[in-house]
Structure 1
Amino acid sequence: MSDHNEHIPAPGEPSVPELELDETIAPRPEEEIADVLRAKPDLDDHSRDSE
C-alpha cells in the first residue's frame, strides 16, 4: 500500500515529479558510510564456509 496520494499533473506539469518524497530528507550517516564502502570493490574470497 502506498503512503502518498496519487498525483494528477496539471496541464504543462511533468507526469513524473522531479523529487521523490524521501529526497527532501538528508541521508543518515550510515547511508553515507555504506556508499563510501560500496565505492571500493570487495575482491576478497567469500566462498569459504565460516566455521
Structure 2
Amino acid sequence: MTLSNERIPAPDEPTVPELEADQTIAPRPEEEIADALRAKPDTEDHSQA
C-alpha cells in the first residue's frame, strides 16, 4: 500500500530523513492543526461594536 504523500528517497539519500538542529522534538498533532488554521487569513471583524 502506498500513501499519496509518501516520498521515495533518491539512491544517494537515507531512507529516514535527518532532523535539522531545531527539529529535535516532533511536532504535536495540535500544532499541525493550528498551522493549517493559520494558513487561512482571518478577515472577520472581531471588534466589539
Question: Could you state the TM-score of these two structures normalised by the residue count of structure 1?
Answer: 0.50
Q: Does 1:25 find its partner at 2:25?
A: yes
Identity of aligned residues (%): 73
The count of corresponding residues between Structure 1 and Structure 2 is: 30
One-letter amino acid of the structure 2 residue matched with residue 41 of structure 1: P
Pairwise CA RMSD:
1.6
One-letter amino acid of the structure 1 residue matched with residue 29 of structure 2: P
Question: Could you state the TM-score of these two structures normalised by the residue count of structure 2?
Answer: 0.52
The superposition leaves residues 7-32 of structure 1 with CA deviations (integer Å, 9 ceiling, x where unpaired) of xxxxxxxxxxx612xx1221001100
Q: Note the residue ranges of structure 2 that are not aligned, 5 or more in a row.
A: 1-19
Aligned structure 1 segments of 4 or more residues deviating by more than 4 angstroms: none
Rg bigger for which structure? Answer: 1
